[in-house]
Amino acid sequence: MTDQALVELAFTMLDRSYVPYSRFPVGAALLCADGTVFTGCNVENAAYGSTICAERTALVKAVSEGHRDDFVRLAVVGRGEDYCWPCGACRQMLYEFAPNLTVLVARGDGQFVTLPLKELLPHGFGPASLT
């Protein structure tokens, strides 16, 4: 799957977001090495701490389906004028499973940038940190 196609798939998730509080929908699409893609959207909650981001939704879906160490690329998109950067909690969750992940971050006009997760979370704390 091309980077452009992955970003476009993430954009399809925006309308599925549940965002009655922030009104800031986010979509994500996580590509596995075998070509499987898991999508996600953000789901807010009146108890704000219970909210889950689009990136973590896609990741949890993938892990629950048996994928753990084969993540290749992740697209994260929003409708804003700026790029829709993953939050710190998402960066940490992604690092747990895919420290070498490539992240595609898009803004509302469809333009996106590509960078390694390790650049978004330098000196990340992962399983190897516990040895």
d(C-alpha 52, C-alpha 62), whole Å: 15
Q: Where would I find the beta strands (DSSP E) of the chain?
A: 26-32, 37-41, 71-78, 102-106, 112-116
Q: How far is Cα of residue 71 from the mean position of the Cα atoms in its chain? A: 11
The reply to whether 55 belongs to the active site is: yes
Cα four-point dihedral sign 54, 117, 108, 46? positive
For residues 106 and 112, give the distance between their C-alpha atoms in angstroms, rounded to a whole number: 4
Return the ∠ at Cα 47 (arms to 43 and 52), rounded to 5°. Answer: 30
The catalytic position among 8, 44, 55, 119 is 55
**Residue in this structure with the two tokens 């949890």, named with its chain if needed:** 60
The residues carrying an active-site annotation are: 55
